[in-house]
């Protein structure tokens, strides 16, 4: 039995009856604190039988497979119907994505090949096909894409349960409970009643997994990524879930419960308070206005973005459309999705980022050759330029969606001016194709570059003259500038956007923007932390994009500080020689004024 990471107490392992408190640390997936009765939800199934089938029985196995898929699709459609009456439309979109995965031709072909050629029984064939697809995603250096392997696992488990005639849904709790599960599927989530579910803990998943995304939409505290937790529950029946710190406590002491109750209350009050101000125009204490927009991965997240008062979408990670399936989406399919996003945001602008995908992150017939270092390989704009037919279809879909609102197109991983020129040539060609096909489109679609590769920051003065806007992606800028893998837990301490090298690069980009009248925004995680956002404003950046759930606290943080304080602090941080030094400067300046936000929300 392997223990979860950062286990703080292990004196009672193998002795759960003693009911000593056990403290674990996972990943805070959705903020808030919950204390309650623990309910283990069994979402796993028994082992899969491996059986070779006689030649005569092969067609029967194919039929059994088709029937199991049909039953699973039906189950998902019923869950989607139920979710229509729920608050979170995001659930419906995910359920629909699962139906598409189940109906995908390549999955069917692979399963049929395993049955008809390898003579595997249907269960075995499904297990193998799903495992292959999941493994390709899981190896991805991008945590978001790696998290999609969970979706494939879920779809596979659902089909396996259908083979046994079991429902794909788990029983819902009847009394207020905190659910602990290996994984919680969107179908389970759709069926949950918020009045009895206080929070979740799951073994698999990351901050960008669907469970976490949905929990944030539902405003439920969640901790994910606590491997093996379901096997460590023993007789414990009370649990604390702290979605802020990622801490989970089984059988807490009276003091721990009191402490958690106080934290839960603080978080609830602050969240309610912040929500009350969601119509307030974001501005500093001295009245300097800025834009706060949302980063989204699912079209349905526009609903949360609007609810939180986002002034548009600053980053729509469109790769989501490509990775929950095996074949790429058609131009028409993409157009329908982009149009829905643009329309959902009304008069606010939407920034569509072309697919940031490549290397081993892409499951389809467009799979790229394996790179030694996929993060440094054929990904994002490089893949787009290498596969112009795929890129042009996406650009055409985006150009067509521009007829329905205010839209900007943004290119990931631009490393220099040459790439931007090549993109612009293809963009112009896409516009001509859309025009020739007789579709409507806007004559003014800004084409921007992400600045997330150090060379792009260094060359920002040239990029600012040719791009219509620049958007700094601090997540990758940190990864590539400091040579720190962004997925590495071991190196997480080194991956700081307060590092003076990062601050200098941001300084270069924001100055280039001013000099060449090119708008500069930030859509990396730095913008979603009160101290990070403070530094960015001090650089003169007035356009921040972050996940929707962070919007209320950032709007509040900014309203508490003046531009003079922000600029002075950023200047001082820029003069430091180390990340710790810069962070200390910013923290000393604003820790007190942000104290409730930093404690209760992050």
Q: Write out the binding residues for Mg ion, residues 166-225 only, by CB under 5 A.
A: none
C-beta of 294: minimal distance to ligand PEP in Å? 12
| Interatomic CA distance for residues 316 and 307, integer angstroms | 17
| Interatomic CA distance for residues 115 and 218, integer angstroms | 41
For position 419 contacting ligand PEP by CB under 6 A, the verdict is: no
For position 474 contacting ligand PEP by CB under 6 A, the verdict is: yes
> Tokens standing for 330?
């058609």
- CA quadruple 9, 487, 296, 208: dihedral sign: negative
Task: Return the number of other C-beta atoms located less than 10 Å from residue 577's C-beta.
Answer: 8
Q: Write out the binding residues for ligand PEP, residues 17-76 only, by CB under 6 A.
A: none
Concerning whether 210 is annotated as a catalytic residue, the answer is: yes
| Interatomic CA distance for residues 273 and 267, integer angstroms | 10
C-beta of 525: minimal distance to ligand PEP in Å? 7
C-beta of 57: minimal distance to Mg ion in Å? 49
| Closer CB to ligand PEP, 45 or 349, in the complex | 349
Out of ligand PEP, Mg ion, none, what residue 523 binds, judged by CB under 5 to 8 A for its kind, is: ligand PEP
For position 452 contacting Mg ion by CB under 5 A, the verdict is: yes
CA 119 to chain centre: 39
For position 142 contacting Mg ion by CB under 5 A, the verdict is: no
In contact, 34 and 223? CB cutoff 8 Å: no
Number of residues written out for the chain: 602
C-beta of 353: minimal distance to ligand PEP in Å? 7
Q: Which stretch binds ligand PEP (CB under 6 A): 49-57, 387-395, 437-445, 470-478?
A: 470-478
Q: Using the 8-state DSSP alphabet, how is residue 16 labeled?
A: G
Q: Which stretch binds ligand PEP (CB under 6 A): 24-32, 57-65, 382-390, 468-476?
A: 468-476
Site string for ligand PEP, 292-331 (x = CB under 6 A): -----------------------x-x--------------
β 222-224/313-317 pair status: unpaired
3-state secondary structure of 338: helix
For position 359 contacting ligand PEP by CB under 6 A, the verdict is: no
In contact, 497 and 472? CB cutoff 8 Å: no
C-beta of 545: minimal distance to ligand PEP in Å? 8
Tokens 């979605």 -> residue: 243
Q: Using the 8-state DSSP alphabet, how is residue 47 labeled?
A: P
3-state secondary structure of 358: strand
Concerning whether 523 is annotated as a catalytic residue, the answer is: yes
Q: Which stretch binds Mg ion (CB under 5 A): 248-256, 301-309, 472-480, 502-510?
A: 472-480
Helix (H), strand (E) counts: the chain: 24, 16
Among 473, 530, 532, 552, binds ligand PEP (CB under 6 A): 473
Residues paired with residue 358 on neighbouring β-strands, in sequence order: 379
In order, the DSSP letters of 495-534 are: --TTSHHHHHHHHHHHHHHHHTT--EEE-SGGGGSHHHHH
Closest CA to 295 of 568, 551, 578: 551
In contact, 498 and 579? CB cutoff 8 Å: yes
C-beta of 383: minimal distance to ligand PEP in Å? 14
88-100 as b/e, with b when 16 or more CB fall inside 10 Å?
bbbbbbbbbbbbe
Site string for Mg ion, 557-576 (x = CB under 5 A): --------------------
Q: Write out the binding residues for ligand PEP, residues 101-160 only, by CB under 6 A.
A: none
Q: Write out the binding residues for ligand PEP, residues 501-540 only, by CB under 6 A.
A: 523-524
For position 173 contacting ligand PEP by CB under 6 A, the verdict is: no
C-beta of 380: minimal distance to ligand PEP in Å? 8
β 33-41/350-353 pair status: unpaired
Q: Which residue out of 86, 236, 404, 523 is catalytically annotated?
A: 523
Out of ligand PEP, Mg ion, none, what residue 474 binds, judged by CB under 5 to 8 A for its kind, is: ligand PEP
| Closer CB to Mg ion, 148 or 263, in the complex | 148
For position 208 contacting ligand PEP by CB under 6 A, the verdict is: no
Active site residue ranges: 210, 523
Residues that bind Mg ion (CB under 5 A): 452, 473, 476
Residues that bind ligand PEP (CB under 6 A): 315, 317, 356, 452, 473-476, 523-524
């Amino acid at each position: 039995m392997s223990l979860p990471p950062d286990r703080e107490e292990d004196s009672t392992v193998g002795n759960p009856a003693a009911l000593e408190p056990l403290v674990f640390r996972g990943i805070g997936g959705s903020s808030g604190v919950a204390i309650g009765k623990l309910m283990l939800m069994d979402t796993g199934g028994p082992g899969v039988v491996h059986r070779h089938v006689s030649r005569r029985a092969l067609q029967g196995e194919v039929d059994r497979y088709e029937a199991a898929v049909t039953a699973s699709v039906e189950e998902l459609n019923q869950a989607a119907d139920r979710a229509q009456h729920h608050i979170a439309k995001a659930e419906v979109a995910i359920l629909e994505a699962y139906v598409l995965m189940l109906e995908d031709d390549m999955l069917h072909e692979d399963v049929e090949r395993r049955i008809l050629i390898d003579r595997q029984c249907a269960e075995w064939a499904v297990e193998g096909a799903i495992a292959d697809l999941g493994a390709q995603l899981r190896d991805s250096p991008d945590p978001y894409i790696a998290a999609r392997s969970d979706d494939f696992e879920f779809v596979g488990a659902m089909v396996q349960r259908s083979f046994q005639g079991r429902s794909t849904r788990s029983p819902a709790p009847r009394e207020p409970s905190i659910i602990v599960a290996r994984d919680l599927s969107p179908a389970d989530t759709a069926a949950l009643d918020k009045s009895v579910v206080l929070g979740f803990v799951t073994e698999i998943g990351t901050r960008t997994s669907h469970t976490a995304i949905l929990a944030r939409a539902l405003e439920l505290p969640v901790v994910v990524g606590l491997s093996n937790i379901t096997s460590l529950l023993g007789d414990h029946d009370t649990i604390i879930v702290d979605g802020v710190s990622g801490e989970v406590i089984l059988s807490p002491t009276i003091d721990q419960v009191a402490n958690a109750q106080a934290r839960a209350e603080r978080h609830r009050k602050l969240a309610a308070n912040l929500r009350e101000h969601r119509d307030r125009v974001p501005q500093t204490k001295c009245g300097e206005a800025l834009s706060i927009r949302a980063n989204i991965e699912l079209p349905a997240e526009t609903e949360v973005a609007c609810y939180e008062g986002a002034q548009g979408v600053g980053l729509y990670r469109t790769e989501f459309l490509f990775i929950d399936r095996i074949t790429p989406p058609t131009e028409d399919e993409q157009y329908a999705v982009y149009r829905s996003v643009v329309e959902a945001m009304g008069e606010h602008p939407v920034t569509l980022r072309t697919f940031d995908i490549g290397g081993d992150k892409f499951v389809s017939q467009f799979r790229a050759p394996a790179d030694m270092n996929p993060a440094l390989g054929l990904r994002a704009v490089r893949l787009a330029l290498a596969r112009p037919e795929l890129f042009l279809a996406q650009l055409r879909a985006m150009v067509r969606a521009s007829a329905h609102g205010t839209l900007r197109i943004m290119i990931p991983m631009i490393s220099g001016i040459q790439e931007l020129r090549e993109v612009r040539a293809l963009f112009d060609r896409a516009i001509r194709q859309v025009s020739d096909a007789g579709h409507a489109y806007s004559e003014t679609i800004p084409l921007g570059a992400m600045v997330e590769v150090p060379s792009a920051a260094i060359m920002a003065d040239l990029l600012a003259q040719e791009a219509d806007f620049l958007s700094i992606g601090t997540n990758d800028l940190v990864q590539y500038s400091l040579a720190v893998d962004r997925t590495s837990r071991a190196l997480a301490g080194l991956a700081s956007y307060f590092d003076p090298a990062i601050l200098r690069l941001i300084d270069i980009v924001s100055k280039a923007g001013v000099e060449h009248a090119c708008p500069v925004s930030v859509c990396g995680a730095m913008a979603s932390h009160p101290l990070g956002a403070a530094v960015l404003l001090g650089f003169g950046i007035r356009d921040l994009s972050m996940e929707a759930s962070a919007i209320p606290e950032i709007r509040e943080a900014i309203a508490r500080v003046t531009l003079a304080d922000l600029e002075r602090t950023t200047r001082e941080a820029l003069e430091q020689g180390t990340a710790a030094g810069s962070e200390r400067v910013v923290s000393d300046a604003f820790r007190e004024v942000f104290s409730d936000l930093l404690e209760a929300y992050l």
